[in-house]
Amino acid sequence: MSTRVHQLAKELNISSGELLAKLKALKVSVKSHMSLLNDEVAGLIKEDFAAKLKKASVPSKAKAKEGSPVAVKGKKTPVSEDKEVSPKPKEPPAKDKKIVHIKIPISAKELSGKLLLKPSELLQMLLKEGIIVHINQILPEDALKKIGEKIDCEFEKLPTEEEKVIQLHSAPHDLLKMKPRPPVVTLMGHVDHGKTSLLDAIHKSSITDREAGGITQHIGAYEISFRGKQITFLDTPGHEAFTAMRARGANATDIVILVVAADDGIMPQTIEAVDHARAAGVPIVVAMNKIDKPQANIDKIKRQLQELNLAPEDWGGKTVVVPVSAKTKEGVDSLLEMILLEAELLELKADPSSPARGVVLESKISRGGPQCSLLVQNGTLKLGKFILAGEFYGKVKAMFSDKGKRVHTAGPSTPVEVLGITGSPEAGEKFYVVENETVAREITQGRQLIIKEKGLGVAKKTSLENLHERIIQGKEKELRLILKADFQGSLEAVKSVLSKIPSDQIKLTILHEGIGGIIDSDVMLASASDAVIFGFQVDADERAKAHAKTEGIEIRIYRIIYEIYDEIKKALEGMLEPKREEVFLGRAEVRQVFKVSKVGAIAGSFVLKGKIVRNAVCRVMRGKEVVHKGKISSLKRLKDDARDVEEGFECGIGVDNFTQIQPGDLIEVYHIEETARTL
């Protein structure tokens, strides 16, 4: 509550005029005795007067009789002449920093308006500090700090509309309003092991007939009823889509059904699916499909599952394994019973009365406009409500169930198709119901601005460089790794070396391991799990490298096994050596090989990308395998020696100490760049 000037004067037993003079001396701007003062100013005045009254306290009656001067109201008390009192010098009042309330992100133009400066003045100020920005660019936090120091003000961040919405949806729920909700189940596994056929058998509809070639091409969601209880199934194209959703912070799945063909067994994609499910912390139920086939070997599959630490219950383990046949529908009811039992143990609950939130399963642009498949995770979605998804928003104009019927509401764990969103958000984006269109528009504009300015920086993931710092700050307690090696023996050797690293400070967890080069799905898993990728005697393909750079994922390639041990140990101690990084220069394909006496093999090649540089370091790739590492010893273009040959031209390449080059081989040229590692 604020206080008026005349009220404070009455409280202090002085006139309003005296108080106005005092305020003027303190440089507090007031117009009249009816002006309002905030609590802080009123408090300072009271403290000042209390200190003065204590010094000039009224003498006792006895001293007054002896002629001692008595303080009279309205008059100054005379000071005794025989005692000199040296007046204390007044200390200037501490100048408080000006507080400026701003919403972050904020552009230079918006900030100049808040500070009552011309945009050109603000840009000039930033330029003097070495910060070059344009008028509509979002200002980084260090720029705001420098501006604050320059003009002696402090910026206080106001909660954005987005933060308010997220806070509303993440607020603790009333336990009395929480109701059990259906489980959301995802089918994963190797291609052709019968995921879609099994789902077809479960809800007795011909999904497979509608899919091109019987293979799932998109993310679909289907709801079934079994013994009076609902189950929602997500039919995904594989673990990659599952992890892509998780990479955006959307843990849409409660239970994973791992489909394994009884006649085929555990395959590389099966192992990857298990690793992705474990990284998400989701319980796994194994559906052993195709048991009707004569080649089916149930015991062999159970033995393979045990090797993956998925020991079946009947073998003394904890994994539910259900033999099924999508063709004869044998075991399907048992599988559904196990899903409901697992859901009961998980105690899945949601509040249907709260504003709806959930995740985007898929979106597409049709003739009628964007269509989005949404999975409601909490609350109830209703027609006419405004929803926010990624950088798009819209009013729910129509909703359809998984069977194509129009619906007016959708509760927790219900998949629906929605019309009315302004664009096509990516799968895995979270959606929220917002109060009105104004709020939705403001949030999406802010998000679009951030996306536009995304070049300002990539989200900082865990790397060996920042590991020591993150441990000290308490941010890191676990180093998650994805291991890829050239052979199984190499992989086992790397795991053995990792097990010897002292782990007092941090826990080492291998999320996924495999044989072969580093591919895009490895980067996707690393992004979703904040992991580091280690490759031993293998390389990453171009798509994986590009994706890793975008996501800020660290890929480390090793050729000597004990380098892994040394680097992790040094990273834990914060003592890493300068970083050695390969910088790609060019790639050429060998079209023909010429044998030249006294010289050796010359590869007649075509430059596919970049340029080939003489004397540069190179590697010869045969398929995905590196067959040689060396240097470009000679380079010719039309019989003449060349320093370098650009993309799109033919040339003759001689590789130092390598004569076994073959047509079809790829020659990759690069140079090693050393950069100091900072913590």
| 199 CB-near residues (< 8 Å, 6+ apart) | 187, 207, 222, 233, 235
Cis peptide before 105 (omega within 30 of 0): yes
What is the SS3 assignment for 300?
Answer: helix
Confidence at residue 61, expressed as pLDDT on a 0 to 100 scale: 42
Structure tokens at 45: 């005045």
Confidence at residue 215, expressed as pLDDT on a 0 to 100 scale: 43
The residue written with tokens 């993150």 in the block is 470
In 134-278 the beta strands, taken as DSSP E runs, fall at 153-158, 179-180, 184-189, 220-226, 229-235, 255-261
Confidence at residue 76, expressed as pLDDT on a 0 to 100 scale: 45
- As a whole number of angstroms, the distance between CA 444 and CA 90 comes to 54
- As a whole number of angstroms, the distance between CA 675 and CA 581 comes to 8
Confidence at residue 58, expressed as pLDDT on a 0 to 100 scale: 44
Confidence at residue 151, expressed as pLDDT on a 0 to 100 scale: 82
C-beta of residue 263 within 8 angstroms of C-beta of residue 256: no
- As a whole number of angstroms, the distance between CA 110 and CA 135 comes to 9
Identify residue 642 by its one-letter amino acid code: A
What is the SS3 assignment for 362?
Answer: strand
* Chain centre to alpha carbon of residue 42: 48
HEC profile of 50-116: HHHHHHCCCCCHHHHHCCCCCCCCCCCCCCCCCCCCCCCCCCCCCCCCEEEEEECCCEHHHHHHHCC
Q: Using the 8-state DSSP alphabet, how is residue 214 labeled?
A: G
Give mean pLDDT in consecutive 10-residue pieces for the chain, a chain of 679 residues. 69 74 69 64 70 50 43 44 48 62 79 84 82 80 81 78 67 78 88 81 58 47 86 69 58 87 85 82 90 88 90 88 90 91 90 88 80 90 90 89 88 91 84 85 75 51 62 65 86 83 72 87 83 89 85 86 79 60 89 84 92 91 88 89 91 90 92 62
C-beta of residue 295 within 8 angstroms of C-beta of residue 263: yes
